[in-house]
Amino acid sequence: MFKKNILIIIAFFGLTLVADDISVLYKRAQILEARGKIKEAMLLYKALATKSLKPKNQKITTKTQDRSIITYGDNSIEGYSHESTDKSIREIIFSSFDVKPYKMNYLLPSTYDFVSHSNRKDTETKFQISFKKSLAKDLFGGRNELFLGYSQTSWWQTSAKSSPFRETNYEPELFMVFPYAKKQSPLKAYTIGILHQSNGQGGRVSRSWNRVYLSGIFQKEGIFIIPRVWYRIPEHQKTDINDTSGDDNPDIYKYLGYGDLRITYPYKKHLFTLLLRDNFKFDGTNRGAVQFDWTFPLPWISDTFGYFQIFSGYGESLIDYNKRNDKIGLGFAITR
């Protein structure tokens, strides 16, 4: 009887070493149990349990969305837990560090301005890079998240000789998002932030301003309405045009006003957005802007969208904050 049990144990553990599918062994154990061979079935269950346990130093693997397996290796580094070390390795491999897209990231290889301007071509390339990094969550005992954001928009005279960059606007900002959890409310979240915008130039072409803003996200059925109001942080008047400090554009509010309104409508894989801005002056100095964005799927490229943009009005770029532009552009967006 003892020899028989030894043979059963050897046979069952041998099966665990050669079997490719654990479900097959599990079914065999169920059959033995149904036939009243409880001891043999328990031995097989024990073998299955042993097989399912991971060794202490087993290599850590993560299955990505495309179902391929990526092996990080043995993370037994003295002074660190396996979990924190694995996170650091993933950040290094994928260069993620919890950085996420913020505003739209896009490239418009060709844009055309129907308004002619001196010292520039009417056709140029425009692109934008934007991302954000979460800094903290649930501050002050509430549901909120603090972000550091950065956006950069460039206008590139690719149709001109030597193809110079005509203008680049830089926008670092710090903002906090507060989700609004009350049921049946059209308000979904609101944001408070501080934003700097400048073009990195000096002298007569220097442009910059700082704002604090408040925005909200409202939903009405399938339409999202995002109003934003801002207050410009005052700067002292420049005594010399070449001063690096002081107000570069004291009249910018006359053209960009004190806020804007964004209306977004998603339809299947299409996204339509309308941006409206106005200074609300009706004494002959009314200025504003309208921008229409349409992103649509590209069937032959995954996670990339075609992008059509129309802009008309003032303030498309800081250098043109007091000049009118009527532009149209076509390209693609990798985030929206």
> Is 82 designated active site?
no
Q: How many CA atoms lie within 13 A of 192 on its CB side?
A: 3
Q: Using an 8 Å Cβ cutoff, are 255 and 272 in contact? A: no
Question: Is 196 among the residues known to form the active site?
Answer: yes
Q: Phi first, then psi: give them for residue 15, nearest 5 degrees.
A: -65, -35
- List 82, 110, 159, 196, catalytic entry: 196
Q: What are phi and psi of 109, to 5 degrees?
A: -60, -30
Q: Which amino acid is at 161?
A: K
- Is the backbone of residue 135 left (phi > 0), alpha (psi -120 to 50) or beta? alpha
Residue 241 DSSP one-character state: T
> 293-300: which pairs have CB atoms within 8 A and are 24 or more residues apart?
293/104, 294/270, 295/104, 295/270, 295/271, 295/333, 295/336, 296/269, 296/270, 297/269, 297/270, 298/332
**DSSP secondary structure of 72-130:** EE----TTS-HHHHHHHHHHHHHT-TTEEE-S-EEEEEEEEESS--TTS-SEEEEEEEE
- Active-site residue, from 110, 130, 159, 198: 198
C-alpha separations of 125 from 236, 301, 319, 328, 336 in Å? 35, 21, 16, 11, 19
203: helix, coil or strand? Answer: helix
Closest CA to 111 of 293, 271, 270, 265: 293
DSSP state of 237: P
Q: How far apart are CA 322 and CA 205, in angstroms?
A: 12
Q: Is 198 helix (H, G, I), strand (E, B) or coil?
A: strand
Q: Which residues are catalytic?
A: 196, 198
